[in-house]
Structure 1
Amino acid sequence: MTPTIPGFDHQRLRVADDVALHVAVGGSGSPVVLLHGFPQTHLMWRHVAADLTADHTVICPDLRGYGASDKPADTGATYAKRTMAADVVALARALGHERFALAGHDRGALVAFRAGLDHPDAITHLACLDVLPTLDMWDVMRGTGAAVGFHLYLMAQPPGLPERMIAADPDVFFGHFLDVWTRAPEAVPARVRAAYLDACRDAVPSIVADYRASATVDVEHDRADRDAGNRLRMPVAVLQQDWGAVLGFDARRLWRAWAADLTHRTVSCGHFMAEEAPQETAAELRALLAR
């Protein structure tokens, strides 16, 4: 049986003409939407979500293309973060929330970032975990240090090659990131790991399309906002590993260019911080929500 977040109700809600999202909802109070990253599902928030339900309605969807949500064929902008951000706003409205706090990890953080820029009247607070905005990410990835992001370049290739390579042994490909991106393997127990791999195995084309969008249309959208001077207007919290030592950049400075009301924290854990350091992650989200 697939693991679930105890006490959460599961629904499927239509957010676009051809897309319904699977979502877990629990708790009561002001709404907080939590978006998962790669190669995960909403289940990555299980500890943090349970903590936040004491004071909040917590909404944990599978992003389009992931988990139990629909996986439409890519037509160019199907997996643009702008499209996926619109999904999130539509999902919250379907649950009765015109305004909500939003936190995302990894790919989910890129969706959250875009939602903050495109829908500032809907997002009250924004948290982005262990990611850089797409435009900045491509700017800092250079030299041998960029080898840590080999998957970004692989999945940016035109349709066909990356899908076939990954589908040849998806468990090895996706399992690689679950292994090397964590400092605490016990944080992703066997049942959870198996659930992630099962979900990814069925979603290779849509996951690749999500990443391909970040090398194409997402860059265009970020550049247009940067050129126009558009910034995040809500309180923003960013939690990151110390990537600077590897890639040689100042993450706080990069984020400051996008958000005036910014709290930036460096955390001492691996990439999967909501699973490796759930108490610290939940505490930082609570501090954000109090701003």
Structure 2
Amino acid sequence: MIFKAFKNHIKQVNGVEINYVIGGSGPPLLLLHGYPQTYCIWHKIADQLANAFTVVASDLRGYGDSGNPPTEADHSPYSKREMGKDQILLMQSLGFDQFYLAGHDRGGRVGHRMALDYPEVILKMAVLDIAPTYTMYKTTDMGFAKAYYHWFFLIQPYDIPEKMIGADPEYFLNKKLGQWGRDETAITKEARQHYLRCFTPETIHSSCEDYRASATIDLELDQFDIDTGKKLVCPVLCLWGEKAFVGRKYNVIEEWKIWSDDVTGLGLPCGHYLPEEAPAETTNALINFFKPLKPKN
């Protein structure tokens, strides 16, 4: 078991089973992973964070050992709104009505929607190696399309990407991990085996639905918030890999200032997988940012 000091549970919330680990003590901190990974991405830094926080690291719906609910024509079961609601209800079930949140990759996009939908719940949010989804789709050019081709591949109609990935899941998984990472030794053998075990036909399909939702219903929700001037009320920390695409392509802090008036951030000496490639730097940045706040009345 990678999270040796944590307890593993599965809880039914919002009509889906959510797999998570919990450990530590102090203010609650929820950690959310990205594609094509699981909560395991946090295994190098969870123990250190648990010295200061009660850490909950969960698998998003459709990923890891969480459930794979059936989809619908509009992909709404895999909207960031529904994925975020899972996590809100999970934390509430654990007794945490307010908490800090750190999300890497897809987890950051789920966190963004959570902080918009539940401004009274998310006290502070860190987003790791992402620019806002709205920005990335609305400013698509050749550079983005080449580097993030999977955004356009995974949204193709069922079951084109599912069949193609399913022909050799291990090959696709390793290629994606290798494409985005800059240190081939950073993802441990145990973690890689965990990611592969969880990269089943069900999670391949669910993760495609996650991306299909991002290109449809999620964009509609973002557009509504842009049009109505809705912003995040919590402080936002942006971390990015200095050797990764996002930090080179976008002015990450300025892009997040479209959504928040309280944004700070910095680049770390790594590729896309910050918690695995730069664990010490990531830990320090998160601990320094998530200084205790008094709960809101």
Q: TM-score range by the shorter chain?
A: over 0.9
- Look up the match of 1:28: 25
Q: Distance in 2 between matches of 1:276 and 1:59?
A: 21
- Look up the match of 1:212: 212
TM-score, normalised relative to structure 1: 0.95
1:46 to 34, 43, 46: 43
> Is the alpha carbon distance of 1:244 and 1:7 closer, same or farther for their aligned partners in structure 2, counting shifts above 3 Å?
closer
Structure 1: gaps spanning 5 or more residues: none
- Look up the match of 1:37: 34
Residue by residue over 1:214-249, the C-alpha shift from the partner in whole angstroms, topping out at 9 and shown as x without a partner, is 1111101111111111111011101113436754x4
Q: 2:10 matched to 1:12?
A: yes
Structure 2: gaps spanning 5 or more residues: none
> Is the alpha carbon distance of 1:123 and 1:144 closer, same or farther for their aligned partners in structure 2, counting shifts above 3 Å?
closer
Q: 2:189 matched to 1:190?
A: yes
Give, as a single letter, the amino acid of the residue that structure 1 aligns with 2:127.
C
Residue by residue over 1:144-187, the C-alpha shift from the partner in whole angstroms, topping out at 9 and shown as x without a partner, is 44211110001111222111111111111121111121111111
Q: Distance in 2 between matches of 1:110 and 1:282?
A: 20
- Asked if structure 1 preserves the Cα contact closer than 8 Å seen for 2:17 and 2:67, the reply is yes
Q: 2:91 matched to 1:92?
A: yes
> Is the alpha carbon distance of 1:135 and 1:281 closer, same or farther for their aligned partners in structure 2, counting shifts above 3 Å?
same
Give, as a single letter, the amino acid of the residue that structure 2 aligns with 1:152.
W
- Asked if structure 2 preserves the Cα contact closer than 8 Å seen for 1:28 and 1:53, the reply is yes
**Residue aligned with 2:44, SS:** helix
- Displacement of 1:84 in angstroms is 0.5
- Look up the match of 1:122: 121
Q: Distance in 2 between matches of 1:120 and 1:99?
A: 10
Q: Distance in 1 between matches of 2:211 and 2:143?
A: 21
Cα RMSD over matched residues? 1.4
Instruction: State the identity as a percent.
Output: 37
- Look up the match of 2:252: 251
- Asked if structure 2 preserves the Cα contact closer than 8 Å seen for 1:171 and 1:201, the reply is no
- Kindly report structure 1 stretches of 4+ aligned residues shifted beyond 3 Å: 242-247
